[in-house]
Structure 1
Amino acid sequence: MAEEAGALKVAAIGDLHVKADGTTSYKALFGEISRAADVLVIAGDLTDLGKPAEAELLAEDLRACTVPVVAVLGNHDYECGAVEEVSRILRQAGVRLLDGQWTEVDGVGFVGVKGFVGGFGRAMLGSFGEPAIKAMVAESVSEAMRLENAMRQVRTERAVVVLHYAPIAETIAGEPLEIFPFLGSSRLAETIDRFPVRAVVHGHAHRGAYEGRTPGGVPVYNVAQHIEKPTGCPYALLTI
């Protein structure tokens, strides 16, 4: 993205998977990001098993971050059924944890939902058959609607959408085809393309591809820390 007056430098990373054993520290990385960017965005899976102890470790590491932190949760953050406690810990640490809301940082709106599964394009799962299938599709539709409702609240000219699940198939290319339906949903992209969005970031697909675009042309970046990025670092650096 080209530099422009008042541009915001966004460092984006996903899938930290902080473990309770404390074997991995992100303090040095967060310090580096604070020198390179104006805001840190974390695209879900902040913890490995959704344990409050993992959230506490991340909160401690985030003390090294001196820029605003915007995040969404991922599927791993729900694993232990302690999502409310995990969310409380992270918010108390200053994280702007988005779940169907938006927040503003220096004139840029950040809109966040976790997203959900469902598949892409003609292969997208439809609401037909067993109640379990209908419930899955209803959750996917609900996340897209929550994203739309949040987008309607944005009052800035520039907006970034933060997801965990992918909105397009292009940025999960490299993952096994068999699991594509579980990595995201086109419903998210359909919603995004109805609004003036500058960029989308997501994680979840550790073996996916870095960059793609929605059908409407919005740039999408898979920022899972495992993905090779132009920075050569675990995080992407975007200018918005």
Structure 2
Amino acid sequence: MTDSGRLRVAAIGDLHVKEDAVASYRDLFGEISREADVLVIAGDLTDLGKPREAELLAEDLRACSIPVVAVLGNHDYESDCAEEVARILRQGGMRLLDGQSTEIEGVGFVGVKGFVGGFGRRMLGSFGEPAIKAIVAESVNETIRLENAMRQVRSERALVVLHYAPIPETVAGEPPEIFPFLGSSRLAETIDRFRVSAVVHGHAHRGAYEGRTPGGAPVYNVALHIEKPNGRPYALLEI
């Protein structure tokens, strides 16, 4: 922690660990352990949601000597093995959140994947075909799970960890046609009902680093490909 008692959080998303193990994050995790008190990973931990990919990530995380908090992303569901992926990573020591919260050094970490739906007045509504209603129902369900997790937080400081974006500002740079598939304002509406220190997400590889919810909570797109102020693949936040 800093001299002022703030927790140093390194946040990164979209690692997309592949089965061929060409890229290793071991050195990066070692560096993060020296720079931060907690590592947060904002989804897409694996590339195709394969158990072997999760095993490789768990092996690399042995180089990380600080607590690791994470959520799953859409890629982690690709092979219909999300439960096995989660089990492997939890056995490796990761605090993998899926509608839960955990506290570290006086900071509450709240995690949920989130889902699609679009932003503001253009957000998808529950009208028409059953398939559309199912999409909206899933989006609403994720926000309900986020709200339930927020209600578990007892600390005055809280960091929300998502994969999908809660605001359009941090997906700016992506093709406008895919904005509805990058996140949902329903997440921001829920977040703004609570006291939140910061929000991190990934998913939008070509988005922007920083924005705010309508209620003023700072939001950071920490996808691996996003340029961060410190020039490193991870953002470094003080909470």
AA of the residue aligned to 2:54: A
Distance (whole Å) between structure 1 residues aligned to residue 126 and residue 17 of structure 2: 35
The residue number in structure 1 matching 2:56 is 57
Give % identity: 82
Aligned pairs for 1:205-220 (under 5 A) are: 205-220=204-219
AA of the residue aligned to 1:131: P
Deviation string 1:126-156 (CA, Å, 9 cap, x unpaired) is: 0000000000000000000100000011011
Deviation string 1:162-212 (CA, Å, 9 cap, x unpaired) is: 000000000000000000000000000000000000000000000000000
Cα RMSD, aligned residues only: 0.7
The residue number in structure 2 matching 1:176 is 175
Secondary structure in 2 aligned to 1:195?
A: coil
The residue number in structure 2 matching 1:26 is 25
Aligned pairs for 1:1-240 (under 5 A) are: 5-240=4-239
Distance (whole Å) between structure 1 residues aligned to residue 66 and residue 99 of structure 2: 22
Distance (whole Å) between structure 1 residues aligned to residue 148 and residue 3 of structure 2: 29
Where structure 1 has 5 or more consecutive residues not aligned to the other structure, the ranges are none
TM-score, normalised relative to structure 1:
0.98
Distance (whole Å) between structure 1 residues aligned to residue 27 and residue 128 of structure 2: 50
Where structure 2 has 5 or more consecutive residues not aligned to the other structure, the ranges are none
Distance (whole Å) between structure 2 residues aligned to residue 215 and residue 4 of structure 1: 31
AA of the residue aligned to 1:19: K
Deviation string 1:78-104 (CA, Å, 9 cap, x unpaired) is: 000001110000000000000000001
AA of the residue aligned to 1:44: G
Secondary structure in 1 aligned to 2:152?
A: coil
Secondary structure in 1 aligned to 2:220?
A: strand
Distance (whole Å) between structure 2 residues aligned to residue 223 and residue 103 of structure 1: 20
After superposition, the Cα gap between the structure-2 partners of 1:156 and 1:15, relative to the gap in structure 1 and judged at 3 Å, is same
Secondary structure in 2 aligned to 1:61?
A: helix
Distance (whole Å) between structure 2 residues aligned to residue 82 and residue 215 of structure 1: 36
Q: In the TM superposition, what is the alpha-carbon distance from 1:25 to its structure 2 partner?
A: 0.1
Distance (whole Å) between structure 2 residues aligned to residue 51 and residue 141 of structure 1: 27
Q: In the TM superposition, what is the alpha-carbon distance from 1:6 to its structure 2 partner?
A: 1.2
Distance (whole Å) between structure 2 residues aligned to residue 53 and residue 170 of structure 1: 35
Distance (whole Å) between structure 2 residues aligned to residue 132 and residue 212 of structure 1: 31
Distance (whole Å) between structure 1 residues aligned to residue 85 and residue 192 of structure 2: 32
Distance (whole Å) between structure 2 residues aligned to residue 46 and residue 202 of structure 1: 13
Q: In the TM superposition, what is the alpha-carbon distance from 1:5 to its structure 2 partner?
A: 2.3
AA of the residue aligned to 2:18: K
After superposition, the Cα gap between the structure-2 partners of 1:4 and 1:142, relative to the gap in structure 1 and judged at 3 Å, is farther
